[in-house]
Chains A and B, each alone.
Chain A
Amino acid sequence: MKWLYSSILILIFTANVSAQSFGSITYNMSFPTDNLSDFIDKPSFKGVGIEGRWFQSKNLSFGLSFAWTVYDQRVSDPIQIVKDGVNGTVSGTQVRVVNSLPILATAHYYTGKRRDQYRFYFGAGAGMYYIKQRLEIGLVAFESNNWHFGLAPEAGVLISFSRDPSGSSIASGVSINVSFPFFSLMRLRPW
C-alpha cells in the first residue's frame, strides 16, 4: 500500500494528568513528506490540538484527539499541463494551502509507574482526516475538500510537575507523531 501523504509532527503539550485521565493542549510543528512535500515543502508551525486520554490501567490509555494543522506556501514554480493530448505550462505566483484536521481514536502504552516524573509512551491514533486543499494562481482558485481514513503512530515523553496530594499534576511533554492519511493531492506537476 502506498502512503499518499504523510507528515511528521512534533507535538509540545501541556496537560492535566490525574490517575484516571489526561487532558492536553498541543502545539504542533509539522514537516511534510511524500506527496504533501511535493505540493508544499515548507514546514508548518501552525498547528494546535486537544486530546483526552482515559487510563484503563497504570500503563494503558484510550482516548480521542483532534488537531488542526495549516500548511501553506507561496510558490512560483511553473505547472506543467499534460492532459488529453494538450501540452503546456502555466506560470504565475501560486498560494498553496492544505488544512489537515484529524479526528482520531487513540491508544497509548506508558513505561514506568503512575507517579514517575518521566514516563515514556508510544501508541497510535486511527480515524478520519478532513483535508482541505487549495491552490490559488492568478485570479483562479482550485479547491478540494475530502475526508480520508488515516493512521498516526506516536511516541513521546510525559514530564510531570508539582503533583498535588490527590495525585493529579500539571505535565508537559514532547511527542513525535507520523501522520498517514490516505489521500491524493491534486495531480499537478512538477510537484
Chain B
Amino acid sequence: MKSRKKKLIVLFSLLILSSFVFYSCYPDYGLTTSDYDTVITLYDKDANFKKPTYAMPDSVVHFVAEGEEDNIDRSKDDLILSTIESNMASLGYTRVDTTAPDAPDFVILVGVTVSDNYGQVYYPGWGYWGGWGWWGGYPGWGYPGGSVVYSYKTGSIFMSMLDPGKVNSDNTYGAVWLARINGVLSSSLNTSARITQRINDAYKQSPYLGAN
C-alpha cells in the first residue's frame, strides 16, 4: 500500500475521532429550569417526631437585607402554607392555633428569599492577522475577545420545624427539622407546580417525620 494512502486513512481516522472528542466536550443534558431545583433537608437524629400537634403562623417571612424594601411577590405565600399543611396532615399532625392555651408540640416557621445572581462568560478572540507584508497597506484583521454578562434570580423557601420542648442555651427553640428549597425563578407558568412538587419532595425525602 502506498504511504500516501496510509496517511489518508490515518487522517480520516483522526478527523472522525476529533469530531467525536469535540462532541464529548460539550454534552447536552437537556436540563430545564426545574432541573436546577434542589431540596435539602436536615434533621436532628435524636428528636422525637412522634408528637401530634403543631402550630404555623399564617404568614410567610420574607427575608430582605436591612434597609431594603420587600419586593418579593406574595402571591405564592398561601400556596406554600397550604402545601405544608396538607403534607403535615397526611403525616398525622394536627394544626393548632398559634394562640391556643396549650403549647403545640412543634412550631413551623416558613420564610422565603430571592437573590440576584450575576455571571460572566468570556470568549476568546481570533488572533490578529498581520496583513500581507509584501502587498503593503493591508492592515490585517482580527476579532477581539470579549464577554457576556448574564443574570438570573434564584428563590429559596425555608421551612424550620422547632420543638418548644427543646430550648437552646441562647433561649431559642431548637430546630429539629430544616428544609431548604432552592430554584431558579422564571416567568413560566409552572412556578406553582414546582413549589408544590418541591415541598412534597421535602416531606417525601424525610421518612422519619410522622405523628404516629
Contact = CB atoms under 8 A, between A and B. Distances in A.
User: Do A and B actually bind?
Assistant: yes
Interface centre among B24, B36, B45, B205 (most CB of A within 10 A): B24
Interface string B172-212: 00000000001110000000000000000100011000000
Interface residues of A, number: 30
Contact of A72 (B2, B27, B36, B117): B27
Interface in A86-116: 86-93, 95
Contacts of B38: 90-92, 137-140
Contact of A14 (B13, B27, B182): B13
Given A91-B39, A92-B38, A78 B20 contact: no
A162 B3 CA distance: 12
Contact of A78 (B10, B36, B182, B205): B205
A173 B14 CA distance: 17
Interface string A48-71: 100000000000000000001010
B17 A27 contact: yes
Given A25-B10, A48-B20, A87-B43, A95 B1 contact: no
Contact of A86 (B1, B21, B35, B42): B42
A170 B41 contact: no
Given A27-B17, A88-B42, A138 B29 contact: no
A129 B17 CA distance: 21
A81 B35 CA distance: 20
Contact of B37 (A68, A81, A85, A138): A138
Contacts of B148: none
A74 B29 contact: yes
A139 B9 contact: no
A16 interface: yes
Interface of A: 14, 16, 25, 27, 46, 48, 68, 70, 72, 74, 78, 81, 85-93, 95, 137-140, 162, 164, 169-170
Given A27-B20, A87-B43, A138-B37, 5 more contacts: A70-B24, A81-B42, A89-B39, A92-B39, A138-B182
